[in-house]
Amino acid sequence: MPISWILKRARQSYWRMTRPLTIGAQGCVIAPDRRILLIRHTYRPGWHFPGGGVEKNETIETALARELKEEAGIQMTGRPQLFGIYANFRYFPSDHIALFVVREWQQPVAPKPNFEIAEHGFFPIDALPEQIHASTRARIDEIKGSVSVAELW
């Protein structure tokens, strides 16, 4: 593992423990045929939306654009729709996640697996992978309108 990746993870852990509030941005990228983009990390189980933490002097939308490009080669071509803001307290004290729906985008080049992302793929909204993370599945159900929007991630 590259030392820069280890240092980034150590810095993120420190911030989560010492800051009164952290926020991340995740994107539910929806293709015209209603397939959903999901990624699988190398460091945690399950399939998730692409996304990550908001850095210093960065807006939430800028963080989302950066993470989509880094993790899946996605470039937004229009503004994303803010779907909800969720408390993520069961994983990190005072952490929040802003979930966006991204319908206007392009993927000029699909990235190859790397030290952070094992794989990514588009899945039919009604045929998601078995190993999808429970919170990701719940958010998709909310976006589909089949359940009420929750407050907790």
* Structural element, H or E, at residue 138: helix 134-144
What average pLDDT does the segment 103-132 reach? 95
The predicted-structure confidence for 12-59, as pLDDT tens digits, reads as follows 777 666 667 889 999 999 999 999 999 999 999 999 999 999 998 999
23, two tokens = 């926020």
Residue 133 confidence (pLDDT) above 90: yes
**Per-domain boundaries in the chain:** 21-144
Residue 8 confidence (pLDDT) above 90: no
42, two tokens = 């190398």
**CA distance linking residue 149 with residue 83, whole number of Å:** 9
The predicted-structure confidence for 76-97, as pLDDT tens digits, reads as follows 999 999 999 999 988 777 899 9
Largest Cα span, the chain: 44
Could you tell me what percent of the chain has a pLDDT over 90? Answer: 78
Q: How far is CA 77 from CA 40, 42, 50, 102, 104, in A?
A: 24, 28, 17, 9, 5
Residue 107: band (very low, low, confident or very high) from pLDDT cuts 50, 70, 90: very high
pLDDT at 18: 66
Superfamily grouping for domain 21-144: Nucleoside Triphosphate Pyrophosphohydrolase (3.90.79.10)
pLDDT at 51: 97
Contact 107, 73 (CB under 8 A): yes
What average pLDDT does the segment 97-116 reach? 95
- What pTM does this model have? 0.86
